[in-house]
Structure 1
Amino acid sequence: MRIAFFLLLTYGLVEEASVAASPAIAQPKCKNMCGDVKIPYPFGIGPADCYMSNWFKIVCNNVTDKAFLPSINMEVLEINISDPYGTNSYYFEPGLIRVKMPIISSSNCINQSTNGVDISGTPFFFSSYRNNFVSVGCDNLVTMNGLDPMVVVGCKTNCSNQKLKDKQGTCSGFNCCQTTVPYGIQVLNVDFGSTHRNSCKHAFLAETQWLNKTDLSNDFPDLDYVPVVLEWTVPNFTAFDFKEIRARHIYWDYTSYGAKYYYCLYGYEGNPYLSPGCQDRNECEDQKRNRCPDKADCENTEGSYTCNRRKSRLKIAIIVICTSFGVLFLLFITWWLYKVIKKRNKIKLKKKFFKRNGDHFNENRILGKGGQGTVYKGMLIDGRIVAIKKCNTVDEGNLEQFINEIIILSQINHRNVVKLLGCCLETEVPLLVYEFISNGTLFQYLHEKNEDFPLLTWDMRLRIATEIAGALSYLHSAASLPIYHRDIKSSNILLDEKYRAKIADFGTSRSVAVDQTHVTTLVYGTFGYLDPEYFQTSQFTEKSDVYSFGVVLIELLTGEKPVSSTRSPECRNLSTYFVLSLKENRLFDILDTQVSKVGNKDEVMAIANLAKRCLHLNGRKRPTMIEIMMELEGVQKVSSIQPNFEELEYIRNEEMEPKDEISISESSCLESSTASSSDVLPLLSIKSI
């Protein structure tokens, strides 16, 4: 079945007014129509003076009303003198003619047509931006030949690519491919190449607009011809001399391939190849094309119609102002509706979350609050009790810490590290779901002593210290990548129902490469636990975690807070207070009651000495967490041995070496004098971050 190709060009075609009012398009006494096709000069039907040369001679079949161009042996569908590139454009393109052009087929096709198309030597050229080169057939590689050796034009189809198949109808590669056409070509010859040697293949130029409306990705339609757009020029137009051309408002330009063409400037109409040339439009009578906003603005002066520019501009200004206010009003209404709808959707979303999440984070369910978020007690569908950490605000810093905690905890599997059960990132703020640790934090047992938090015995404290050391040793040495916690403190150590320690809060933790010794970051930590060396250099090492652990050991020994305003100004920092007490042999004066009544004083002194080594100002001289863990385990194993009072006296009298041990102020915390040593433990006064 053949398809009729009577499609109109859409680029800048100007609607015609009544035939009587329109300028002539053909020579006098010459036909200007063949069926539905207008025949403008230099094209013509009939005698030789109706067309400029034999190149433009049109033969009209009176039976079928079809127009033919014998000079290139093609049927004509439409002829246009010139078109503007856009609405009200001052730049025009050459004349265009739509024709039917044959399809080139391979030798395997039933209707073989291996001959190409050659219109060289004529004033016609294949339009580059109105046509595409098309290839149809499975696994078909077709290229245009006869072009400049430096130019290769072609495309390849692929019938095995499912993604291309899903885009059927677009001629994007499945059974049909297309590409652009070079400028100024007059010859179309092709070379067929295919992995399917016996398949039928087609290649042709086709009008882009027609191609976009035709599905060639399935079976090829029963076509012998397709519409193609040609550009035409009149290279030797000499009907008017230069002065006449200017007087008749005729302009010319050159194509990208050097051919000259003529056109009427915007605001004028007519045929530039006929006398009287281009004429000013009757802007008042021709309402479809006039430039006056209202016919009343047109003035008739001696038979010539012109626009009253002042009235026109005033009306245009009024229209523009009113339109602007209307647009602003619409924008305001749109913005207001957006806010209302957004607020309503937010309320609906909250109701949805409330219905899905149960008590919607009831205040009575709060387990604790921190800088990053609030921890709630919750229950899963299967009845498991969990802890849910909810980010406080949608803040980039908090979100980064939440995501960092997910990444870190996903690498960790240790009995003394809180397990991350899951996360929810689809809520307004992210949520992290942990195993529920029932007995609160170590900080509460040491510093909030009441009936809810019973006293911790020495054995419990020793075991808790050993478990914390084991977990940190695992993070530093046994994890897939070494992990620095960066915020070890008693409030980040949870106790389960059997008072086993669990390290929590990995929001600021960092993974480091195996060959890395430190991470350089902004100083982050909690006052009282912060490594002085890290504070000075911004370089966090595994020994920075060791320092913080040493402070936790002191808390276990003394029951004192890391920072306290009840102590003298020189000793508000627990680390300084502890080291001075050791040096002055007053350790047993500052111990917690549950520690001071321990029968084996050697254990206490061993732990105190270990804590002192953890607090050394020089990080390299602190023990590693593996060494600390082994030493704590050793103390546990010999806990049944009676205290060795000679060794106890030796440790008490041990003098600290100024270079190998931590150096402190020579004055007591009860005295007001200050030390001049450069190694004095700094009394930091920053707030918790």
Structure 2
Amino acid sequence: MMCMNFFHRLKARSRKPQASSSSKSHDISPDTFSSVKDVKMETSNFSIQIFSRDELLKATDNFDSAKKLGDGSSGTVYFGKLYDGRAVAVKQMKENDPNRVEKFMNEIEVLSRLRHQNLVSLYGCTSRHSRELLLVFEYITNGSVADHLHGEHAKLQGMTWSTRMNIAIETASALAYLHASDIIHHDIKTSSVLLDKNFYVKLAGFALCRLFPSDVTHVSTVPRGTPGYIDPEYQQTKKLTCKSDVFSFGVVLMELVSSKPAVDITRPRHQINLSTMAMNMIQNHALNQLVDPCLGFESDLKVRRMISAVAELAFQCLQCEKEMRPSMLYVLEELKSIQRRDFEADGNS
């Protein structure tokens, strides 16, 4: 298989956003930057392996249902084995999705230019003119955080608080890196946080990502994402910012604390959304009713203090007004501080 210059070097747009000379906030509309693919990246020269559809059909045994790893909002993922023996995850983009080409390009252009130990690696793809749009990722062996909190893995063995804390820090690290690179993930959820055999995080799910240049205040876009994780202010104003990812990450933190799904229609009406339930319980000093009892919240003083500190941080992330939420860099540093803190020695923590 050949490696080729990825489709073409992105051309400069005839018009680029100019920094505002006034104090007014300004934004990017969908007509200006509908996605990452609209932005000129002068230093980017994508080199990515292009696979044929037949190769990937063979790798997945014609997309055998027995090899299906999961379904997502943008496509179905199958386990495969390449001709060179590499185990891979092949994403088959949904044919009936009118935005499938945009999502396909988003994942390629973000993952082919960014490198971070907690981002999933992209091996290649089919041509965008192929009969099917297929993406080839490294295979992450241990499923997602959602699997370990709510799925089959959870029934076998629950994750310790120490493991959950590491997952929170590594996910925050990946997000802080994206934000420093002017990228909004736009679909943070526990099913997008993959785990390898050693429980190291590999963040995936970049189909909805957006560029967020430093000289603008927000991106105007029709609200998309996963119910239970969507920033309420973004839903109302249609203005997407990095703080929208912060809100979603707050939901992830509370899932790690509680082992409860982000949305559960079997819960009482005011508790269907985990974000609402968590905010109410934290405000009412009832965190103990929310925490997964398997974590040792009642029996281990250090664990109780760490979980309480993480819940307090999640409370900040889940504020309805984005200005009240911290940055991902702050969240990352605070999580590291909580992990390092000697709660047993500090009686005031």
Tell me the residue number matched to 1:499.
Answer: 199
SS in 1 for 2:99: helix
Tell me the residue number matched to 1:605.
Answer: 308
Q: Aligned match of 1:392 in 94, 100, 120?
A: 94
Q: Could you tell me how far apart the structure 2 residues matched to 1:599 and 1:645 are?
A: 10
Tell me the residue number matched to 2:157.
Answer: 454
Tell me the residue number matched to 1:635.
Answer: 338
Rate the CA distance shift 1:572–1:396 in 2: closer, same or farther, 3 A.
closer
Larger RCO, structures 1/2 (Cα 8 Å, 6+ apart): 2
SS in 2 for 1:387: strand
- Greater shift after overlay, 372-381 or 455-464? 372-381
Percent of aligned pairs with the same amino acid:
39
Q: Aligned match of 1:585 in 274, 285, 289?
A: 285
- 1:488-637 maps to which residues of 2 (within 5 A)? 488-595=188-295, 596=297, 597-600=299-302, 601-637=304-340
Rate the CA distance shift 1:586–1:630 in 2: closer, same or farther, 3 A.
same
Rate the CA distance shift 1:497–1:396 in 2: closer, same or farther, 3 A.
same
The letter of the residue matching 2:306 is E
Rate the CA distance shift 1:632–1:390 in 2: closer, same or farther, 3 A.
same
Q: Could you tell me how far apart the structure 2 residues matched to 1:449 and 1:579 are?
A: 28
- 1:259-298 maps to which residues of 2 (within 5 A)? none
Q: Could you tell me how far apart the structure 2 residues matched to 1:358 and 1:614 are?
A: 40
- How far 1:564 sits from its partner (Å)? 1.4
Rate the CA distance shift 1:567–1:607 in 2: closer, same or farther, 3 A.
same
The letter of the residue matching 1:637 is R
Q: Could you tell me how far apart the structure 2 residues matched to 1:514 and 1:531 are?
A: 20
Determine if contact 1:458/1:594 at 8 Å carries over to the other structure. no
After superposition, the C-alpha distances for 1:48-101 in whole angstroms (9 at most, x for unaligned) are xxxxxxxxxxxxxxxxxxxxxxxxxxxxxxxxxxxxxxxxxxxxxxxxxxxxxx
TM value normalised by structure 2:
0.79
Rate the CA distance shift 1:461–1:598 in 2: closer, same or farther, 3 A.
farther
Tell me the residue number matched to 1:464.
Answer: 167
After superposition, the C-alpha distances for 1:480-536 in whole angstroms (9 at most, x for unaligned) are xx0000000001110001101111010010112221221100110111101010001
- How far 1:394 sits from its partner (Å)? 5.9
Query: Does the alignment pair 1:436 with 2:139?
Result: yes
Please list every run of 5 or more consecutive structure 1 residues that lacks an aligned counterpart in the other structure.
1-348, 648-689
Deviation beyond 6 Å, 4+ runs, structure 1: none
- How far 1:453 sits from its partner (Å)? 4.9
Instruction: Say which one has the larger Rg.
Output: 1
Determine if contact 1:458/1:598 at 8 Å carries over to the other structure. no
Q: What is the aligned length?
A: 294
SS in 1 for 2:157: coil
- 1:185-200 maps to which residues of 2 (within 5 A)? none
Name whichever structure is richer in helix by fraction: 2
Name whichever structure is richer in strand by fraction: 1
After superposition, the C-alpha distances for 1:575-609 in whole angstroms (9 at most, x for unaligned) are 11111111221101210023324431221111010
Q: Could you tell me how far apart the structure 2 residues matched to 1:499 and 1:583 are?
A: 32
- How far 1:354 sits from its partner (Å)? 8.1
Rate the CA distance shift 1:461–1:354 in 2: closer, same or farther, 3 A.
closer
Tell me the residue number matched to 2:75.
Answer: 373
Q: Could you tell me how far apart the structure 1 residues matched to 2:335 and 2:221 are?
A: 31
Q: Could you tell me how far apart the structure 1 residues matched to 2:233 and 2:140 are?
A: 33
Rate the CA distance shift 1:625–1:453 in 2: closer, same or farther, 3 A.
farther
Please list every run of 5 or more consecutive structure 2 residues that lacks an aligned counterpart in the other structure.
1-51
Determine if contact 1:561/1:574 at 8 Å carries over to the other structure. yes
The letter of the residue matching 2:209 is S
After superposition, the C-alpha distances for 1:646-681 in whole angstroms (9 at most, x for unaligned) are 54xxxxxxxxxxxxxxxxxxxxxxxxxxxxxxxxxx
The letter of the residue matching 1:410 is S
Determine if contact 2:305/2:343 at 8 Å carries over to the other structure. no
TM value normalised by structure 1:
0.41
SS in 2 for 1:389: strand
Q: Could you tell me how far apart the structure 2 residues matched to 1:578 and 1:629 are?
A: 20
